């Protein structure tokens, strides 16, 4: 699977995704630091990548309709430590064999994973 980690994500998340066999790029690897959310989302569309972020703006399905994207994953750790964020990353990766990500918004927190389909689903 192809992922792009937002600039607010620790470097270790992209490294972990790669270690698990995924194609993962960080926003900063492409010189996209400081690019506003719509710009990052547009790059993800072109590159056919899943957005992985801590940014709750991506939870707004009016601005970022899940059906347009290859997937949006918003991680919501109780504390924004690298270990907590990696734990949530492992949690959503374990679900990939059972639940399609494309066209969906996944909100992953300490207690659950909420999956919001596109309104057309």
User: Could you give the angle at the alpha carbon of 78 between the alpha carbons of 35 and 38, nearest 5°?
Assistant: 20
Q: What number is the average pLDDT over the span 14-19? A: 97
Q: In the chain, what percentage of residues exceed pLDDT 90? A: 88
| Residue 98 pLDDT exceeds 70 | yes
Label residue 118 by pLDDT band (50, 70, 90).
low
Q: Give me the residue spans of the domains in the chain.
A: 2-117
- Mean of the per-residue pLDDT values for the chain? 93
Question: Would you say domain 2-117 falls under CATH 3.40.50?
Answer: yes
| Residue 111 pLDDT exceeds 80 | yes
- List Cβ neighbours of 40 (8 Å cut-off, separation of 6 or more): 4, 6, 27, 32, 51
Q: What is the pLDDT of residue 121?
A: 46
pTM of the model: 0.94
Label residue 119 by pLDDT band (50, 70, 90).
low
């Amino acid at each position: 699977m192809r992922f792009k980690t937002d600039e607010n994500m620790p470097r270790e998340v992209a490294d972990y995704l790669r270690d698990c066999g995924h194609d993962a790029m960080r926003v900063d690897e492409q010189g996209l630091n400081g690019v506003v959310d719509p710009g990052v989302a547009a790059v993800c569309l072109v590159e056919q990548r899943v957005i992985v972020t801590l940014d709750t703006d991506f939870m707004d399905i009016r601005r970022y309709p899940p059906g347009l994207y290859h997937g949006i994953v918003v991680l919501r750790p109780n504390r924004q430590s690298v270990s907590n964020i990696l734990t949530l990353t492992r949690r959503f990766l374990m679900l990939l064999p059972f639940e399609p990500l494309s066209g969906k918004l996944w909100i992953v927190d300490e207690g659950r994973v909420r999956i919001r389909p596109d309104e057309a689903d």
